[in-house]
Chains A and B, each alone.
Chain A
């Protein structure tokens, strides 16, 4: 299957290990990715609080380009997913608003017709590809690994924007994937809560309290690793875990995997090719346990 690829800024910026890992596993699965030419940032909810029309217009621009390609949109970022879904709802349920946006897009000869249906790779694996296909490709099951899911707010709320009612399976998609990879799910309260990243530069103490709370809760429940489909969550949960642990005055040491990395590990891909050595929290205890030492 072929998709219009929307990688998002972070997978090419502060979490550069995500992009190649996602490409690698998509190739194995047989998902063909064609990047949307000249795609722009979704606004991540930040631009939306300053200038909703500008932010929505940029999203419509990405959607219009994908329409031109004639391909459905695939993203690898929970935040991008949520922001795109919300923008899409605003535009498609209000024809006047969409017309206003299209008026601005007309300058570069673009028009958004309202047919885009942006989907995270996590949903695509379950809804379009089917987990049987993933199971087929698992050559190194993550047996004995206890894995905590961490969704990222924007892929779970608000449910109305994400069509959760039509797709109730999306609410447990990450747990389903963990089981498919052969690992054991560590269920914990923080799995759908906020990682704290959006307030990192605004209220670092609260941001670190969130990182500390969720990572230590999962760790105390015996998690070997946490898995997230959101690179922004990854930045905070991995990159700032040492600072969060210091604030909490305890050790946490929980490896945080991008969702495609966990899939890649189960497919027998070399951890180095998945960029596991680029994490701030040491992933070696995990890879050693798996017999896939870096």
Chain B
């Protein structure tokens, strides 16, 4: 198979450093991976091409890079499946992290975040007399997260990290979940209260946009975003609800549970803690005014869907705590 590999290159020691595209025409077997092609280029065409790789079997996590704009492992990506109609692909270094040279990036940001979540077991309270008991089921569940090979593909494509490097990010939050979901971590009931409290703060679990980029990028099926959603569930369950993220989730569910649909006028107000949050209310004012003058305001009187009692019955049955006894009567959403 004759393919064209278009590589985004960068040499910090060049006279005028700057990234540029370079094309390589290379002939490889039909079943070659992207990594096979890159190694062939380095060995036979340009020895200055810099890339990291080791195991070639999606175990070591060294060769994450952007292939056709999306992060993945070069060793796990079959060329034939990703080439375009001209038998060409683009290869770039992973995103978010600083490029050192060509396809090698600096993992400092990645490891800083992993370290920040204190990735080791922290049992609270007295030690048990014997060993810690963990069910087979809970360990099997955790194996889905411990499958992470720290390749950085999720961090590369995270839409939040792209605009805000202070976000903990998908890899570290998934790693944190590996401990909050471990029955040996936290108190005797296995609830990691301290972790959940810290992770509920700014730059933590509630800053994720739920864009699914990390789910798509992860070569090991860890689905970091799903773990972040599970963290949110745990945090709300543990009572850490005094933040806009938790309020938003609860208010959203209440709105739909009470009326069947979203009350877009009241949801943002409830998310920021009610009309008494003067700062937030003032910041909404210009947006609200612009919407009003363009005939775009959501209806002031939010209507219930027909046969809403069926929705409310499900709400009562499936989320009794949030629905409360007053559902449908003194509902905050009318």
B126 interfacial by beta-carbon distance below 8 Å:
no
A13 contact from B211, B248, B264, Cβ within 8 A: B264
State whether A50 touches B249 (Cβ < 8 A): yes
- Complex interface residues of chain A between 155 and 213 (CB less than 8 A to chain B): 157-159, 189, 193-194, 196, 198-206, 209-210, 213
Cβ contact within 8 Å between A40 and B305: yes
In the docked arrangement, what's the CA distance between A280 and B176, Å?
A: 41
Interface residues of B, CB < 8 Å — how many? 65
Contact A46 B260 (CB under 8 A): no
Contact B295 A16 (CB under 8 A): yes
Decide if A54 touches B159 in the complex (CB within 8 Å).
no
Q: Which residues of B contact A193 (CB under 8 A)?
A: 159, 162, 211, 213
The size class of the interface chain A forms with chain B is: 35 or more
**In the complex, what residues of B have CB within 8 A of residue A48's CB?**
229
Which residues of chain A (35-71) have a CB below 8 Å from chain B?
A: 37-41, 43-51, 53-54, 57-58, 61
Contact indicator A107/B313 (Cβ below 8 Å):
yes
Cβ of B318 under 8 Å from chain A: yes
B82 to chain A, nearest CB (A): 12
A249-280 interface (Cβ within 8 A of B): 277-280
Interface residues of A in 213-254 (CB under 8 A from B): 213, 239-240, 242-243
Contacts of B310 in A (CB 8 A): 38, 61, 107-108
**Interface status of A153 (Cβ within 8 A of chain B):** yes
Residues B318 and A104 in contact, CB atoms below 8 Å apart: yes
Contact code string B279-299 (vs A, CB < 8 Å = 1, else 0): 000010011001100111111
Q: Cα distance A275–B142 when bound, in Å?
A: 50
Which A residues have a C-beta under 8 Å from some C-beta of B? 9-10, 13-17, 37-41, 43-51, 53-54, 57-58, 61, 82, 104, 107-108, 153-154, 157-159, 189, 193-194, 196, 198-206, 209-210, 213, 239-240, 242-243, 277-280
Known: A43-B253, A58-B314, A198-B210. 14 other contacts (CB 8 A): A40-B261, A51-B319, A54-B253, A57-B314, A61-B310, A104-B317, A154-B212, A157-B213, A193-B159, A201-B248, A209-B164, A239-B296, A243-B287, A280-B296
